[in-house]
Each structure stands twice: as C-alpha cells, then as structure tokens.
C-alpha cells in the first residue's frame, strides 16, 4: 500500500516563492546595488532589524550591497539636547562650525555603527565608514540662490558647511566589497583643505552609484514613490519622462531633488533606479526579486 507523505505546513508555499525568485536571484548575482537608507524606517526598531536582515540576505545570495544612510532626526535630537537651534533652507540644514562637529559625530559615529551593527548581527559582515575615509567623497561648498519676491533680485544663500560631492574615489569601496564586506557609508565629505562638510545622503548615494556604475540604485524614503497629479503611484518612468515631468511642474517639493539625483546617477551609468517606501517590510527584496517590485523605477 502506497503511503503519501504530506510536506510540512507552509513548505509548498516556500517552494513556490523560491521558484519564482530564482530567475531574479540569478539575474542579480554579482551585481552592485547601492541602497540609500533613511527616513522614519531608521527610527522604528522592527523595520530597522528587517532592513539589516534584508541587506544581509542580499549579500548571502551573491549581491554586492553598498549602504549610504541618512540621520536627520538623530542629528535634530542631539542638537536639541545640546540646545543648538537648527535652521533649514530648501530642506537643507544650515550648518555652522559648531554644528558640523555634531553632525559628523552623529552620522559617522552613532548612526553609522548602529546601521553596520544591524547588518552584521543579521549575518553579513558590515563595516561603517564615512565619505572622508580614503578620500572617498571630495566635497565643495554647496551654493544656493533665491530670488527675492519683492525686488526680484537673486540672492546668494550661505548654508555654512553644507557641501556637495566634487569628486568620488571608490577604491575603499572596491577593497571592502572585494573582501566580502558590506560598506556602510555616512554622508560627510572633506575638501582639499581638510574642511568637513555635511552632505545630503541622497546626493552622496547617487554620486557613489554613478561612480560605481551600479546595476541598481534603491532610494528608500517615506513615500510610495513618484505620484502623478491625481496622487496615484507612477510605477515606471524613463529618464526623458522624468525630465519632462520636472519641466512641466508635475514633480515638485521634496521629490524634485530626489528625481534630479536619480537622473544624474542614470546618466553616469547606473542601469536602473527605484524610489520606494522604506517602511514597506522587505522593500529591497520585493523590488529586486519579484516581478512587480515596489515604488517607481526609472530606466534609461
């Protein structure tokens, strides 16, 4: 008499998921994926732990992940503790000499090591560094202008020690990934005179992705992706469509600099960029290893 052996509960579903993911696992084996990690997902313990496990999972299936993290809320909390007031211009924190020391302490110290620790505890060896290490991010002062609505005269705004990438050297990253490690990078840079600059994490991640000619650049944020005028998610765009949306005014506010960063990265050689909600559980795995993905993908 034949005996039928039932598989353990849930085993069939696990096998189905694995079979579906296998082509994507093969596609991305050996690929370089830059992930910008920030937003409210950093402050929620459960989501942070899931992020660490997801990055470790990417490493374990043969992907080469590079993580660039933000830390705005953590910086604000420390400045409040030190009774140092913050001022913002176009979403950028005006950073004086005293404040830049606090920014570096929080980003390259506390936050950087916390993110590296999340990934290491999940099973992949992560190393926390900053853009100053090995001269990775050569910085220059960021200049912003604003037209006075009364006089119509363009004014130069002084943001202090807020910078932008002037040059990118990826040798440290290549050395770490070549040794099987996951680089976790804090977005501070240094100019030729040794001055430290606070740099937007999206901008650093995009510059690194472009310099590495990454296969994918995943920009985790607090929104579902790019939304149309009716508030619906735009699942896919080309670079030309993104540029047209900017010119028409369809993309505004905080999404505008993100799209500009993505376009610049694409033109530098990144194969595809996705803007996605980092609060979605396992967002990185869903984007890379499922057919539909999540968020808005921008292709050449």
Q: Residues 173, 208: contact at Cβ < 8 Å?
A: yes
* pLDDT tens for each residue of 245-260: 899 888 887 888 899 9
What is the predicted pLDDT for the residue at 295? Answer: 92
pLDDT at 148 over 60: yes
Least confident of 41-45, 192-196, 215-219, 233-237: 41-45
**Distance from C-alpha of 142 to C-alpha of 92, rounded to nearest angstrom:** 10
Distance set, CA 121 to CA 52, 115, 138 (Å):
8, 10, 31
What is the predicted pLDDT for the residue at 6? Answer: 53
**Distance from C-alpha of 250 to C-alpha of 234, rounded to nearest angstrom:** 12
Total-model pTM: 0.89
Dihedral sign for Cα atoms in the order 29, 35, 37, 39 = negative
Domain boundaries, the chain: 30-299
64-69 sheet: strands from edge to edge: 126-130, 182-186, 64-69, 32-37, 216-221, 273-277, 296-299, 236-238
What average pLDDT is seen over the chain?
88
* pLDDT tens for each residue of 176-187: 999 999 999 999
Q: Would strands 88-89 and 273-277 be described as parallel, antiparallel, or unpaired?
A: unpaired
What is the predicted pLDDT for the residue at 17? Answer: 60
Q: Residues 75, 43: contact at Cβ < 8 Å?
A: no
Which two tokens mark 178?
């070549």
Given pLDDT bands bounded at 50, 70 and 90, which one contains residue 92?
A: confident
Q: Return the CATH class of domain 30-299.
A: alpha beta
* pLDDT tens for each residue of 96-131: 899 999 999 999 999 999 999 999 999 999 999 999
What is the predicted pLDDT for the residue at 8? Answer: 57
Q: Residues 103, 95: contact at Cβ < 8 Å?
A: yes
Long-range CB pairs of 83-92, under 8 A, 24+ apart, other chains included: 89/144, 89/146, 89/157, 89/159, 90/144, 90/146, 91/254, 91/257, 92/142, 92/144, 92/159, 92/162, 92/200
Least confident of 22-26, 34-38, 82-86, 166-170: 22-26
């Amino acid at each position: 008499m034949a005996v039928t052996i039932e598989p353990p509960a849930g085993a069939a579903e696990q096998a189905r998921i694995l079979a579906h993911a296998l082509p994507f696992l093969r596609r991305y084996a050996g690929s370089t994926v830059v992930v910008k990690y920030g937003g409210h997902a950093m402050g929620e313990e459960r989501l942070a732990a899931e992020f660490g496990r997801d990055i470790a999972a990417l490493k374990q299936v043969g992907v080469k992940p590079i993580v660039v993290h933000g830390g705005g809320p953590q910086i604000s909390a420390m400045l409040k503790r030190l009774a140092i007031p913050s001022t913002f211009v176009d979403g950028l924190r005006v950073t004086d000499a005293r404040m830049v020391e606090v920014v570096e302490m929080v980003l390259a110290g506390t936050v950087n090591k916390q993110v590296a620790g999340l990934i290491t505890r999940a099973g992949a060896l992560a190393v926390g560094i900053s853009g100053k290490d090995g001269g990775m991010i050569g910085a220059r002062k960021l200049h912003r202008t604003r037209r006075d609505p009364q006089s119509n005269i363009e004014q130069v705004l002084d943001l202090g020690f807020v910078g932008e990438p002037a040059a990118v050297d990826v040798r440290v990253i290549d050395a770490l990934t070549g040794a099987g490690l996951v680089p976790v990078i804090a977005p501070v840079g240094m100019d030729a005179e040794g001055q430290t600059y606070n740099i937007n994490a999206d901008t650093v991640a995009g510059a690194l992705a472009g310099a590495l000619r990454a296969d994918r650049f995943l920009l985790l944020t607090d929104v579902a992706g790019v939304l149309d005028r009716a508030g619906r998610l735009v699942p896919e765009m080309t670079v030309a469509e993104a540029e047209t949306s900017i010119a028409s005014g369809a993309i505004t506010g905080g999404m505008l600099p993100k799209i500009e960063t993505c376009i610049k990265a694409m033109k530098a050689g990144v194969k595809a960029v996705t803007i996605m909600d980092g609060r979605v559980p396992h967002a990185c795995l869903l984007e890379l290893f499922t057919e539909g993905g999540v968020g808005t993908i921008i292709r050449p």
